Chain A
């Protein structure tokens, strides 16, 4: 079922997104090459307006590039029909947004099962899957609550459960801690750590250094391009004492 860690699940080759023309041409995403291996967590950091959210939309089929290729699990998704692309969005990619995007009139479990129902799963199986996920994410006692009755961290957990409902090949998260206080952000950080440990492939676009630093690889984005790559695993260690002022 899952591929060996390191095999690319998602790749971008020379991906561009342009708006306008002539003097008003804006290159929001400019010739991006990126490969994300199975089970890998990749973070993309950069200042506001650098194009990182646009890139995430192109990777997840929420938008189409002006040029280049997006390949998901060996198959191009940038040039497929609208219907096929909608199917990719529903079943192959899980999206997590900064402002959760939950349906306010649906309970937690209904929000989660909705994506399974839309993907064609039988109602009973969809409910079972949603309840399983909420339990796994520590929300078993909250499944009947409306989003308005949940804390920010809990709402983001529901959103992550929804993203995982159809066992996506990759979860794409756009500023998942952006609307959370420090304690709730830590909660979401632990959740992403657990997802990573369970082998889920993740791409996270963020301003938050804490979440970027827990990735396997981190890219810096500037003016629409990926300009720097940092492998965060296996780096220098043992400096916490110095950082705390306990040693020189």
Chain B
């Protein structure tokens, strides 16, 4: 999990470490179980050291990471903005993209549908490149088969983007 994901989950409002973990668990469902608490707290400590987060206080004066209240610094806010605008293909990280949409919507950083559109533009350019290359190969050749594999994978990514679009469009019109 990239550090920016943890940062972005704090973009809406400062939060205790344990609240942050709860938000991630809620967003990731059963996949959230794969993230252990230690990983999140180590990331928070690193981000604090890097000057991207600041500790605003703690729930009961305790020094435990889960009780501290973390907030973004201006440098942290800038880093989140850059991460939101970044296009993460061709190495698709589904959870990262998913959390990007959630963070963008909850903190009002960007329109999730605009993020989906940006990602789709980038993907379509790659589909085009692979498809034109596939069409130039003789049918049944080994190279055509590999290129078809690339196109099929990209199509799967596009279908998922379509599902994201539908879901976020529905949420927007429902709100």
Chain A residues proximal to chain B, CB less than 8 Å: 47, 182-183, 186, 189-190, 193, 209-210, 212-214, 218, 220, 222-223, 227-228, 230, 232, 235-237, 239-240, 242-244
Q: Mark B113-139, 1 if CB is under 8 A from A, else 0.
A: 100010011111111111111110001
Q: Distance in Å from the Cβ of A183 to the closest Cβ of chain B?
A: 7
Dominant secondary structure at the B interface: helix
Q: Does B151 contact A (CB under 8 A)?
A: yes
The answer to whether B165 and A232 touch across the interface, beta carbons within 8 angstroms, is no
Q: Distance in Å from the Cβ of B125 to the closest Cβ of chain A?
A: 4
The answer to whether A186 and B139 touch across the interface, beta carbons within 8 angstroms, is yes
Q: Which of B120, B133, B148, B166 contacts A240 (CB 8 A)?
A: B133
Q: Which of A193, A222, A239 contacts B126 (CB 8 A)?
A: A239
A-B contact count (CB 8 A): 78
Q: Does B158 contact A (CB under 8 A)?
A: yes
Contacts of B158 in A (CB 8 A): 209
The answer to whether B124 and A47 touch across the interface, beta carbons within 8 angstroms, is no
CA distance A223 to B133 in the complex (A): 33
Some 6 contacts from A to B, beta carbons below 8 A apart, are A47-B166, A189-B131, A209-B124, A209-B127, A209-B158, A243-B90
CA distance A124 to B90 in the complex (A): 55
CA distance A243 to B166 in the complex (A): 26
Contacts of A220 in B (CB 8 A): 117, 120
Contacts of A223 in B (CB 8 A): 169
Q: Distance in Å from the Cβ of B131 to the closest Cβ of chain A?
A: 5
Contacts of A242 in B (CB 8 A): 90-91
Instruction: Kindly report which residue of chain B lies nearest to residue A232, judged by CB atoms.
Output: B128
The answer to whether B154 and A232 touch across the interface, beta carbons within 8 angstroms, is no
Q: Distance in Å from the Cβ of A45 to the closest Cβ of chain B?
A: 9
Q: Which of A186, A210, A237, A244 contacts B127 (CB 8 A)?
A: A210
Contacts of A244 in B (CB 8 A): 146, 149-150
Instruction: Kindly report which residue of chain A lies nearest to residue B166, judged by CB atoms.
Output: A47
The answer to whether B121 and A243 touch across the interface, beta carbons within 8 angstroms, is no
CA distance A244 to B148 in the complex (A): 10
Q: Give residues of chain B (150-175) contacting chain A, Cβ–Cβ below 8 Å.
A: 150-151, 153-155, 158, 162, 165-166, 169
Contacts of B124 in A (CB 8 A): 209, 212-213, 218, 230, 232
The answer to whether B135 and A190 touch across the interface, beta carbons within 8 angstroms, is yes
Contacts of A218 in B (CB 8 A): 124
Contacts of B132 in A (CB 8 A): 214
The answer to whether B117 and A227 touch across the interface, beta carbons within 8 angstroms, is yes
The answer to whether A236 and B122 touch across the interface, beta carbons within 8 angstroms, is yes
Instruction: Kindly report which residue of chain B lies nearest to residue A247, judged by CB atoms.
Output: B90
